[in-house]
Amino acid sequence: MRTVIITGGFGVLGRAVSEAFRQNGDRVVRVDFATSAPDGNPAGLDLGGVDLTDAEAARAVAAKVVDAFGGIHVLVNVAGGFTWQTLDDGGPETWARMFAINATTCLSMTKAALDHLSATRGAAIVNIGAAGALAAGSGMGAYAASKTAVHKLTESLAAELSGKDCTVNAVLPTIIDTPANRADMPDADFGQWVKPSAIADVIVFLASPQARAINGALVPVSRGS
């Protein structure tokens, strides 16, 4: 049985990804900044109250997982956040916050798990990038820049691990159909948004043996229901 770490595991997308891996027969470890999960995680492990911008906290997560289950086979970096703010209304604080939430969390957890993943046959890292980072619109600068950092980490680490049996890829969703996004954009056409379960299906595929030849890819996930 594979052990899969999912950061941001208590959120809407994180829970969808967790369920998809459980249905695939994998053991799931959910890690989140929130202190408690809103639902159960059968046969898995939940680690709440974890600040993944802290490299030591990320190392502690990796150590707990290895101690509990003997290794790490897949890492999915879902943890992140979004802020829409023009430069006129904001400044360096917003950019620093977006980099911390989106890029530093990904970097810290990946670094903490890297030795275990790079030594594991058929290992995989899947990051959550963003289609909106490919061309930043008004108010999207801080978010897009932080997600671009995730894209470049994905590409560079894939090259670094090219001699290992560990793939590194990212999915780039458009707007995700979540309750929070519906509340923020009530007049939008929700039918054009991507379902969390659809994103989860792509992630499970990228972590599967069938995707072993895919490495360093930034995969767009843009189709609505």
Domain map (residue ranges) of the chain: 3-221
CATH of span 3-221: 3.40.50.720
What is the distance between the alpha carbons of residues 138 and 68, in angstroms, rounded to a whole number?
46
The per-residue pLDDT for 177 is 81
What is the distance between the alpha carbons of residues 14 and 225, in angstroms, rounded to a whole number?
19
At 78, list the tokens.
């879902």
Active-site entry in 82, 95, 99, 143: 143
Residues of the chain falling short of pLDDT 70 = 224-225
Q: Give residue-wise pLDDT tens across range 155-168.
A: 999 999 999 999 99
Residue type for 103, please?
A: A
The per-residue pLDDT for 88 is 82
pTM: 0.95
The per-residue pLDDT for 225 is 61
The reply to whether 221 belongs to the active site is no
SS (H, E, C) 21-76: HHHCCCEEEEECCCCCCCCCCCCCEEECCCCCCCHHHHHHHHHHHHHHHCCCCEEE
∠ CA 223-146-15 to the nearest 5 degrees? 50
The alpha carbon of 90 is separated from its chain's Cα centroid by a whole number of angstroms, namely 26
The per-residue pLDDT for 89 is 86
Q: Give residue-wise pLDDT tens across range 30-65.
A: 999 999 999 999 999 999 999 999 999 999 999 999
The per-residue pLDDT for 27 is 98
